Chain A
Amino acid sequence: MAKILVKPEVCIGCHLCEVWCAVAHSKSKNLIKAFMYEDPKPLPRVAVEEDLPLTFPLQCRHCDEPDCVSACISGALHKDPESGRVIHDKERCVGCYSCVLVCPYGNVFIDHENRKIVKCDLCAGLDMPYCVSNCPNEALIYVSDS
């Protein structure tokens, strides 16, 4: 099971993980195009918590026993036994926000415009999640079993 862990003591609060997460989930995968021209604008699935000088990013933990999956009323969330990822199917999501009510980390994000949620998918299909590879101070560490 892969996970993204964080070293709060080296996070510099630059929010680049948020920026690159949005790029990773954009249509163009290009920073300028995504932010200038894409509609809807891509949303990040990671949030930097701040109470200066403290900063640290958080994203979905892909829990072993995910509360969000238990709470989901539409079957839009499931845990993939193969990869261990908690996967969200936006086609099935109705925006009831039951997952927001139960996620202990507050890592399910609301997409108000489309009345759906977005969450980290560990950059499915990429070897290394964008937030990790683009963190300038290596505050995010990708730990995989394999």
Chain B
Amino acid sequence: MQKFNYLIIGNSAGAVGCIEGLRTVDKNGTIAVVSEESHHVYSRALIPYYLDGKVNKENMHYRPQDFYQRAGVTLFSGQRASEVHFDTKEVVMAGGERLGYEKLLLATGGKPIVPPIPGLDKSNVFTFLSMDDVLKIEKSLAGAKDAVVLGGGVIGLMAAEVLKKKGLNVHVLELAPRVLAPVIDETASDIVESSFKEVGVEIATNNTIQEIHGQETVDKIVLKDGTVLSCDLLVVGVGVSPRVDLVANTAIKIERGIVVDQKMQTSVPDVYACGDCASIYDFITGENRPLPLWPNAYSGGRVAAFNMAGKSRYYTWGTGMNSMHFFDTNIINAGMNVSEENDQNLEIITKVEKEKRIYRKFVINEQGHIKGFALIGEVARAGILLNLIRSKVDVRPFKQKLLEEDFGYAHMHEELRWQLLKDDVVLGVI
């Protein structure tokens, strides 16, 4: 049986973060990666860009072709882990082969949520998460006229935009009263919906699929409100749920995702988890939850690596955050998404210019700490705002300046500004 110092199950952002983290602190330890897909490590987040023709197959790769070789990683490509035995520290592969480990990282990712609607198994229904999904969609575009996208979240809307650009008639179905409801507020949803409607994408909210008609393929869909849509292509983009089946029947603690502490360690010693399969610490709410976002996966994998190699490190700034764009409207948000009427004593300050698709919004708590923000149309330097959230500073002295497009360090009070910049930027006498 082959035995490795570090074994990683999964081959996406979390795995790469872990490999790169391990190689900064341990040049010699043996590393193996078990990858269910046989593609070279690619970026799932680029799938819409690939379908749009903005990224070719080569550039789908998240790291260069010789990445594993240079990092000294043994890759088990196109192979699936089927069991983990924590007591003997072994992973059993679907083919029966066993791999031993000293430290294990579970980076199994997420699986697309497919609602229990009869007919979603037909051949022109696709999820929108993997390279294989997008290659199939690409093939079925020829001759397709009418596309239906189930889900008005980030994934669904990205799919809808690309399909529209490909010249299809696109209908988006969203069960909630508005698109992107978990991510942004009503005003922001309005702006996003208007940018879709302007180019002729139909958005049906408070609505979903009632019945699917067709033999081998879906050809007609009846909606909850009775509307009938013809359909040549149906994309299910409702979201992802943590993929935990590999460890579902073990002693490991699972609450929606595999629960990890700030060191990315699970409830089982020497076993770590990160990315879409994990339930990680959200520094804004102080609670654990799945945060299936690229930066959280990579950073989580990197932090796990340091701890796996015996160097203590914490991931303390994971939270809900997105950078998105729909039809050239840029949106960046982070942290809490609450409306004006909230019961948590949170103050909301906003600036809106709807016709220009400009929106700035900040959620501020009783101590004056920013707990969330959303920017539309003016997204430059958003990271400064995220830094203010992380630094837990009282922003009330310059609250109104946050709403200005050119807000930066110059607009804070002096003491705070130099405190935030002194370590890394400033030389001389302040």
Contacts and interface: CB of A to CB of B under 8 A. Distances in A.
A89 to B, nearest CB: 10
B45 A73 contact: yes
Nearest to A55: B410
Contact of B379 (A9, A63, A105, A110): A110
Interface in B44-90: 45-46, 49, 54-55, 59, 61-63
Interface stretch (B114-122, B282-290, B382-390): B382-390
Interface stretch (B193-201, B244-252, B420-428): B420-428
A73 B12 CA distance: 11
Interface string A22-37: 0000000000000000
A134 B408 CA distance: 24
A70 B298 contact: yes
A3 B417 CA distance: 20
B332 A58 contact: no
A90 to B, nearest CB: 12
A74 B383 contact: no
A58 B46 contact: no
Interface string B329-342: 01010100000000
A8 B325 CA distance: 35
A101 B323 contact: yes
Interface residues of B, number: 44
Given A54-B410, A58-B408, A96-B323, 16 more contacts: A8-B430, A9-B428, A10-B428, A50-B410, A55-B410, A58-B425, A71-B298, A73-B46, A94-B46, A98-B294, A98-B295, A100-B380, A101-B321, A101-B382, A105-B383, A106-B380
A8 B421 CA distance: 11
Contact of A106 (B322, B383, B429): B383
B373 to A, nearest CB: 10
A106 B323 contact: no
Contact of A101 (B59, B386, B411, B429): B386
Given A9-B430, A75-B61, A104 B387 contact: yes
B294 A71 contact: yes
B279 interface: no
Nearest to B381: A106
Nearest to A69: B298
B59 A102 contact: no
Interface of B: 17, 43, 45-46, 49, 54-55, 59, 61-63, 294-295, 298-299, 302, 321-323, 325, 330, 332, 334, 379-384, 386-387, 390, 408-411, 421, 424-430
Interface in A1-43: 3, 5-10
Contact of A97 (B325, B334, B384, B429): B325
Contact of A100 (B295, B332, B425): B332
A94 B45 CA distance: 11
B393 to A, nearest CB: 13
Nearest to A48: B410
Nearest to B52: A94
A104 B386 contact: yes
B323 A97 contact: yes
A63 B294 CA distance: 19
Interface string A50-91: 110011101001010001001101110000000000000001
Given A74-B59, A75-B43, A101 B383 contact: yes
Contacts of B409: 49, 58, 105-106
Given A51-B410, A102-B386, A74 B55 contact: yes
Contacts of B49: 94
Given A70-B295, A103-B383, A6 B323 contact: no
Contacts of A63: 424
